[in-house]
Structure 1
């Protein structure tokens, strides 16, 4: 695959998962890109050529459970500690000692935890859509169970193995199109409409997705790519990330309240619930992200930030990277 005249190289490298598939462009300091749910290395298709053109070795992975990376069978093989170990293995397999790590959605949490646990490997961290919140606080399953009143928060809905899969897998392409539309600025439900982050008792997430509306950033070829990946792999590996939140809470207890001290950048969407619900986490950045270089909220932008606003995100990231000590 080529974009903007640059060749994207695909290969797999060994990791504790078995193998991690990656897409790579460019030469220079390593920048590792971590996607979220339900996505792919392909979510960084606009960033790979931009970072390569700016003088970086840009590498976007398929997180374990996704795409062409290994998909361990055990649910507890998707805990945060294992994903951090995968990222370290990728850096070393590429012949590097350190990297800048940038993540979106769940990838932001994976990137932040990688930087927290292995600061000697991850020298700077970029977070898209989901703000940094230090480990600690109430047990996640208990906190999410209290949200929504008579409705069920989507994270709770995802907990039971097989339940969400039964909704999604009979029509992967249609479900993905609806999920992407529900969280995109130009197609999300109007204010006051039923919130697509919640499920009515006995209902499904899809009940609240916009019907027949496609986000401007999502071309038919893009949707075809995502759908083909999940039609091949199923959704269990991806959903297992949500099924390890209590394990992560236990695993990371020793890091309760710990700040991320490396140079960092945050980019959020002004219309993204991940940003607005966690406004207090952003306000706490002077304490939790003492190395923060810049925090950007993109007006009128939804959740799929690097795909909705690729040029703006690329400019922010390349400016931030250029200011980092090499």
Structure 2
């Protein structure tokens, strides 16, 4: 397994990779890095694939600075197209987790010729909805539910990244703890933030590292986010309404490639993505499976590497696309 920087047409991208053979691209989410895929990279390489996980735009070894609008879904998918080409390939299987799942779904949606099979972890495919952009709709739903603001709404503020940048170690520890499967239900994040609170204050101060994360592993995250900050990663969220305005051409379009979805039973994201999870068979026309891992939380490929690896290898092997 090695780290290197790949120069694409538009920017350098740091990648973690191993193996030779057909290309499998692994896209991380928030607040993660390429290193979140180490167990999958090792398993895929051993199985005869070239597994490549980039630090995504604004993260780790692939920092900006980019203007806020530079983190739109068109830029993020474009980065992956550029990376596949820079690696000398014309097609691959794409796998994403969290925000990376949203990017992976859109890679498949926008470039089916290149991304010939897709797997999403933790975050289901969410089609473009007619009728208006998503942030006002989220705010209206949250208000009706009386649960406080959905955290995505709070991240729209210009200074939303400040509480993360003030103490990256505490911010990361609380994020990992609040969404982990080993965290007791009453101490998990719900995704909703009451008035007077913020995304970090709703997580207990005595939050600990998840059982799967060593101090050494955690230090790698802290080092990267301390160096480059959270503004770029949170700008991904600030582009949600922009993404809606840019993707009218995708309205009602379905994903026809082989697809797979894996989610943890205790993933708090399911509190607000359940509708999309239930609707996936309507939008993924060759859905090969929806796997729910009992007791697992949000950081699923790190919490349950053996089960996730087995599911991914079976899916890729049976997809017949690479």
In the superposition, the TM-score normalised over structure 1's length comes to 0.93
* Larger deviation, residues 270-279 vs 231-240: 270-279
* Pair 1:148–1:285, CA change in 2 (3 A): closer
How far the C-alpha of 1:195 sits from its partner, in A, is 4.6
How far the C-alpha of 1:114 sits from its partner, in A, is 0.8
Describe how 1:153-164 pairs up with structure 2 within 5 A: 153-162=150-159, 164=160
Question: Distance between the aligned counterparts of 1:83 and 1:110, measured in 2?
Answer: 7
Q: How many residues align?
A: 316
Match of 1:202 in 2: 196
Question: Distance between the aligned counterparts of 1:107 and 1:188, measured in 2?
Answer: 26
* Larger deviation, residues 153-162 vs 176-185: 153-162
Match of 2:149 in 1: 152
1:56 aligns with 2:49: yes
- Local SS of the residue matching 1:119: coil
Q: Which runs of 4+ in 1 moved over 4 A?
A: 193-196
User: RMSD between aligned alpha carbons?
Assistant: 1.6
- Local SS of the residue matching 1:146: helix
How far the C-alpha of 1:274 sits from its partner, in A, is 2.3
Question: Distance between the aligned counterparts of 1:216 and 1:126, measured in 2?
Answer: 25
Match of 2:287 in 1: 292
How far the C-alpha of 1:188 sits from its partner, in A, is 4.7
1:77 aligns with 2:83: no
Question: Distance between the aligned counterparts of 2:182 and 2:10, measured in 1?
Answer: 37
How far the C-alpha of 1:299 sits from its partner, in A, is 1.1
1:61-89 deviation digits (Å, cap 9, x = unpaired): 11100011141330000000001110001
How far the C-alpha of 1:204 sits from its partner, in A, is 1.9
* Pair 1:194–1:91, CA change in 2 (3 A): closer
1:159-209 deviation digits (Å, cap 9, x = unpaired): 1222x222111210111001110000111542xx68542223232222111
Match of 1:185 in 2: 181
Q: Give the gaps of 5 or more residues in structure 1.
A: 1-7
1:191-236 deviation digits (Å, cap 9, x = unpaired): xx68542223232222111324321112111111111110000000
Question: Distance between the aligned counterparts of 1:202 and 1:140, measured in 2?
Answer: 23
Question: Distance between the aligned counterparts of 2:140 and 2:216, measured in 1?
Answer: 39
Describe how 1:242-281 pairs up with structure 2 within 5 A: 242-281=237-276
In the superposition, the TM-score normalised over structure 2's length comes to 0.94
Question: Distance between the aligned counterparts of 2:247 and 2:17, measured in 1?
Answer: 31
